[in-house]
Amino acid sequence: MKKRWIMCGILGIVSESGEVSQDIYAGLWSLQHRGKEGAGIATYDGNVYHEKRGMGTVEVVFGGEVLSGLLGKIGIGHVRYSTAGGSTLENVQPIQGLFKSVPFWIAHNGNLTNTKKLRQECVKQGYFFRTTTDTEIIASLIYFNESFGFEEALYRALSRVEGTYALVVLYKDVIYGMRDLTGNRPLVYGEGRGIKVLASESATCDVLGMKYLFDVRPGEIIVMKQGSLSGAYGDQMFCSTAEAFQKQKFCVFEYVYFLRPDSIFDGRRAQRVREEMGRNLWRESAVDADIVVPVPDSGNFAACGLAKEAGLPIEMALFRSHYVGRTFIEPLQERREKGMRIKLNVIPELVEGKRVVVVDDSIVRSTVIKRVINMLREAGAREIHTRISSPPYKYPCYYGIDTYRVENELIAKRLNGDVEAIRKEIGADSLHYLSLEGLRRSVMEVPGNKLKANNFCDACFSGNYHIPLKDGIFGKET
C-alpha cells in the first residue's frame, strides 16, 4: 500500500524528429509513484520555452489540451513530493533560472545539505528567490557564474553544493543530466524510436518503448541534444571515475521501497532484491504459521520471497484501492486513519482461524500496520506475526525524503528501537525486522554491476550519515 514517503521523479527527453510532450507525459506517468503533489514539464521549440506546472497528479495537471501547447523536440519533466521547501505551486518543478538573461529549467531529485549559508550568501549578493526549494540555490549559483559558458557555470554551481541530487537541466536545445558524487539518487539513460531519455528509473524506458542502456555515473554530467550524446565532464568533473565509484552511496531504500519493482538499477531488478529480503527475513524469523499475507503494494515482493522460503501459501487477503490519494501528506492523524479505511480492506474468509504472517517493507509512524493488524484480528485471524523487510527506521533521512520533518513521529525512534515495545504498540503476536546485515546481504545476493556492499547509504537504519549537515538545511536549525 502506498502509504507515506515519496520523493521525486525526473526525466528529460530529446527527439530527433517529433514533438516530445506526449513522451514526457507518458514518462511522468511511469514515475508517478515517486511524487503526487505536483508535476511539471518545460520544453523548448528552438525559439522559446513552453511550460506547465501544477499541483496534483500528472493526470490532473496535464488534462485537456495542455500538452498540445508544450511545443518542441526537447524537454524535461518532474513529479514532486515536497522534500525541501513547502507544498506550494511556486515550488513545483521544473524551477526556472536565468543565465545571461536567458531562462533555463531544472528538475531535481534529492536534497542539498548546505543550503542555509548558500541561500544567505546569494540573498546578500542580491538574488531574489521565488521558491523555498533547495533546487533554486543551484539556479542562483549558475546565475552568479554567468561570466563562464553554461556548462562551466553549471559545474561551478554544483561544486559549491553538498547533499544529494540527480538533476536534469534544460538550457535551450540541450539537456544536462547529472548525479551527485555519492550517486545517492538514481538516474538512467535509454534510447529508441529516435528518442533519447534520462530518467529516474529504467521502467520509464520500458514504458516509452526504449532500451535502458546505462546508469549515469556519480559525479558525471551527461550532455544530450539532437544528434549527439556525451559525458561532458565525465571523469574530470569532481574526481576520477574510479574514485567516484568507491565513494558511491546509493540509497538502499530505493531497493526497499522507492523503485518500481520492474525497475533495474546497477543491474539489480528491484523485484528480485525485495524477494531476497523476504527470504532472508524468514531465515531470521521463522515461525509456525498457515499463510503469508502481503500488505499491498509495498509488501508484495518481500512476501513472495518469504512465502517461497517458508514453503507457505501466499494469500492476497488485503485489498488496496488504487483510487484513493496518499495518506502520508494528510496533516492530521485522524484524517489519515479515515483515509485508510477506504483505502484498505480485508477478505475475511482467507484469514479466519489462520496463523497469519503479514509482511510489509517498513514501519514509519505505524498507522498502516496497526490498521492492518486490527483488520486481520476483526476478520478472525488466530495469530498475527508481523515481518518487516527492512530494519527499524530509527534515523531521519536528510538526503531526499526529509523524514527529519516527522522525526518525532517515527515509531522506532520514539521507542528507541525497542522491538518488543513496538510489537506491543502495534498489537502483533510477534514482530521481526530484517537485520541490517540481512538487508545488506539481500542486495548483494542479487548480482549487480559496480556497487559493492559498502556503496550503499543505509543511514536511516544505521545512523551512518555519509554527508554531514555542515552548514545546515534551509528551514531547519541544525
What residues make contact with ligand SF4 under the rule CB under 6 A? Answer: 184, 251-253, 397, 399-401, 457-460
460 a catalytic residue: no
Q: Which residue has the cell 538512467?
A: 188
Q: Which is nearer to ligand SF4, 230 or 478 (CB)?
A: 478
Comparison of 184 and 366: residue with beta carbon closer to ligand SF4: 184
Residue 52 vs 413, nearer CB to ligand SF4 = 413
Tell me the backbone φ, ψ of residue 388, rounded to 5 degrees: -115, 125
Q: Do the Cβ atoms of 227 and 59 come closer than 8 Å?
A: no
Catalytic residue (choose from 8, 251, 304, 460): 8
Least CB distance to ligand SF4 at residue 437 (A): 15
Other beta carbons within 10 Å of 380: 13
Strands 38-44 and 49-55: antiparallel
Alpha carbon dihedral 157, 158, 162, 163, in 10-degree steps, equals 130
Ramachandran category for residue 231: left, alpha or beta (phi over 0 → left; psi -120 to 50 → alpha): beta
Q: How far is the CB of 183 from ligand SF4 (least distance, A)?
A: 11
Do you know the residue count of the chain?
Answer: 478
Supply the minimum distance, in Å, between the C-beta of residue 403 and ligand SF4. 7
Min dist. Cβ of residue 113 to ligand SF4 (A):
11
DSSP symbol at 359:
E
**Could you give the 3-state DSSP secondary structure of residue 339?**
helix
Cα 366 to Cα 436: distance, rounded to the nearest angstrom: 20
Which of helix, strand or coil describes residue 129?
Answer: coil
CB of 41 to ligand SF4, least distance (A): 26
Strand ranges, E, within 126-162? none
Q: Which amino acid is at 435?
A: S
Residue 155 or 258: which CB sits closer to ligand SF4?
258
Nearer to ligand SF4, 30 or 111 (CB): 111
Positions marked catalytic: 8
